[in-house]
């Protein structure tokens, strides 16, 4: 049997998937049935392709097809949608981030899927105070010896986060050793961004009350810019990301004095 066949098959699969991404970006939408006919392959294979591309953050999987992953500043996917993206990278980031925490410290976790991974790692601690505006993170830490301070505020359905003046005021009365901040976009020349204005305001207060700010985001967030600026790159002491971060961004961060940890 020719040992090159599996390699050829992988190449053909990747070529088809690249073509699918081009089609969805050009046409604004693709359907499973049409793609099956276009590439003379089964709908099962096409569905698998779309799931893989969705997992890579290259498109949005929908019922019966897919939509383009727009880079628009207003894009605000739900927490459940985000959970499907770059899961392995987020798990590794969570593990490394938790290693920066020491017993007896106070930690701020903003809302997000990466910070949720950190919360799971922190469950092993015995003496810790976690300050958060995320209802799901508070629930994750319930039943542990960790003291959880949950801000008040208005609940955002998309992110399970509490925002608004109540959340901001609660945070201003607190102080923290370290903030782990997950973001929707990290433009190394502009800063950390999120699509929601109220979320950005709460995040800014978190940066103000923390002695150390650590950005936790997978490499897909670099080069993206959402609607609302949270803080400039100079506000970040450390960034934890994966090895796919663009080399130019990595160099720019290090030149700006940001400590970068690659997982």
Three-state DSSP state, 98: helix
pTM above 0.85, yes or no: no
Q: What is the DSSP string of 185-253?
A: EEETTTEEEES-HHHHHHHHHHHHHEEEEEEE--GGGBT---SEEEE-GGG-SEEEE-TTS-HHHHHHH
| Mean predicted confidence (pLDDT) in 81-95 | 77
Q: Is-contact 198 204, C-beta < 8 A?
A: no
| Mean predicted confidence (pLDDT) in 214-237 | 90
Q: What is the pLDDT of residues 46-58, one digit of tens each?
A: 999 998 988 887 8
- Give the domain ranges of the chain: 5-69, 80-262
- Using alpha carbons, select from 42, 45, 65, 55 the residue that is nearest to residue 89: 55
CATH level 2 (architecture), domain 5-69:
Orthogonal Bundle (1.10)
Q: What is the pLDDT of residues 192-220, one digit of tens each?
A: 999 889 999 999 999 999 999 999 998 88
| Mean predicted confidence (pLDDT) in 74-88 | 57
CA-to-CA distance for 28 and 24, rounded, in angstroms? 5
CATH number of 80-262: 3.40.50.1360
- Using alpha carbons, select from 155, 239, 223, 144 the residue that is nearest to residue 190: 223
pLDDT at position 1 over 90 = no
Comparing 219 with 147, which gets the higher pLDDT?
147
H helix or E strand, kind and range, residue 11: helix 5-27
pLDDT at position 69 over 90 = no
pLDDT of residue 2: 53
CA-to-CA distance for 199 and 129, rounded, in angstroms? 22
């Amino acid at each position: 049997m020719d040992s090159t066949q599996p390699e050829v098959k992988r190449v053909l699969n990747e070529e088809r998937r690249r073509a699918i991404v081009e089609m969805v970006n050009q046409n604004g939408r693709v359907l499973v049935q049409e793609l099956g006919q276009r590439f003379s392959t089964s709908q099962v294979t096409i569905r698998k392709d779309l799931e893989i591309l969705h997992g890579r953050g290259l498109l949005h999987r929908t019922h019966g097809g897919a939509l383009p992953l727009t880079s628009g500043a207003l894009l605000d996917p739900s927490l459940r949608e985000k959970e499907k993206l770059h899961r392995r990278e987020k798990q590794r980031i969570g593990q490394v981030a938790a290693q920066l925490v020491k017993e007896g410290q106070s930690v701020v976790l903003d809302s997000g899927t990466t910070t949720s991974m950190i919360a799971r790692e922190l469950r092993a601690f015995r003496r810790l105070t976690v300050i958060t505006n995320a209802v799901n993170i508070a629930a994750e830490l319930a039943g542990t010896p960790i003291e959880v301070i949950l801000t008040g505020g208005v609940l955002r359905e998309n992110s399970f986060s509490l925002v608004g003046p109540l959340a901001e005021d609660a945070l201003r009365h607190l102080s923290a050793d370290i903030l782990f901040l997950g973001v929707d976009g990290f433009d190394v020349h502009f800063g950390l961004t999120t699509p929601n204005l109220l979320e950005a305001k709460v995040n800014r207060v978190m940066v103000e009350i923390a002695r150390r700010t650590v950005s936790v985001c997978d490499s897909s967030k670099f080069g993206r810019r959402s609607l609302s600026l949270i803080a400039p790159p100079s506000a970040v002491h450390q960034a934890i990301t994966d090895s796919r971060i663009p080399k130019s961004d990595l160099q720019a961060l290090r030149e700006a004095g940001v400590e970068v940890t690659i997982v």
